[in-house]
Amino acid sequence: MLTCLNAPYVKTAISKGASGPRVIFVHALRNALLPLITVAGIQATGLINGAVVVETIFGFPGIGNLMIDSVRNRDFELTITCIIVAAIAVYLMNTIIDILYMRLDPRVRLT
């Protein structure tokens, strides 16, 4: 956020007479959110994929524990289904991140 506040477009907005909250929320925060969204998306997909490890170690019921049990029991249909559900969850998370990028950065809309 500090880097965005020192950017030329923020200084231009201030020199044009934009109010303090407008400069922060409209000009600086929009560009400061892009790296935050990237990191949050990576962390969210890691949580989805890390469910297998956490649920197995702590014995929580869930799709990760179900996947490990299906591998142990050699239930290939259930294993493939669990993998597809996890893949769909990661795909949806990446789609949400792309939509947020398009809403925040007008340069992404053009490509």
Q: What residue ranges do the domains of the chain occupy?
A: 2-110
Q: Is the confidence at residue 56, as pLDDT, over 90? A: no
At 21 the pLDDT is: 80
- Cβ within 8 Å of residue 28, ≥6 positions away: 1, 4, 5, 7, 10
pLDDT in tens, 39-50: 988 898 888 888
C-alpha to C-alpha distances, 25 to 20, 37, 46, 66, nearest whole angstrom: 9, 16, 29, 44
pLDDT in tens, 2-52: 777 777 777 778 788 878 787 777 777 777 888 888 898 889 888 888 888
Give residue for tokens 């649920």: 55
